[in-house]
Amino acid sequence: MTVPVMKLCGKMVEAGQAYNAANQLFLSGLAELLLSQKKDNVLMSCLNQFQQGLQEMLSFHTMLLDQTQRAIIQQLTNLCSQFLPQLADTRKEFVRIGEDLETAAAKNAQVLRHKAAEAERASHLLLATRKCYQHFGLDYCLQLNTFKTQQNIDVLNSVFSFVHAQFTFFHQGFDLLRDLEPSMKTMGAQLSQLSADCAAKRKELENRHLLVQQR
The per-residue pLDDT for range 146-194, each reduced to its tens digit, is 999 998 899 899 999 999 999 999 999 999 989 888 888 888 888 888 8
**Residue in 130, 123, 80, 75 with CA at minimum distance from that of residue 101:** 130
Position 205 scores a pLDDT of 86
CA angle 24, 185, 191 (to 5 degrees): 80
The per-residue pLDDT for range 26-56, each reduced to its tens digit, is 988 888 877 776 666 766 777 788 888 889 9
Mean per-residue pLDDT, 12-16: 93
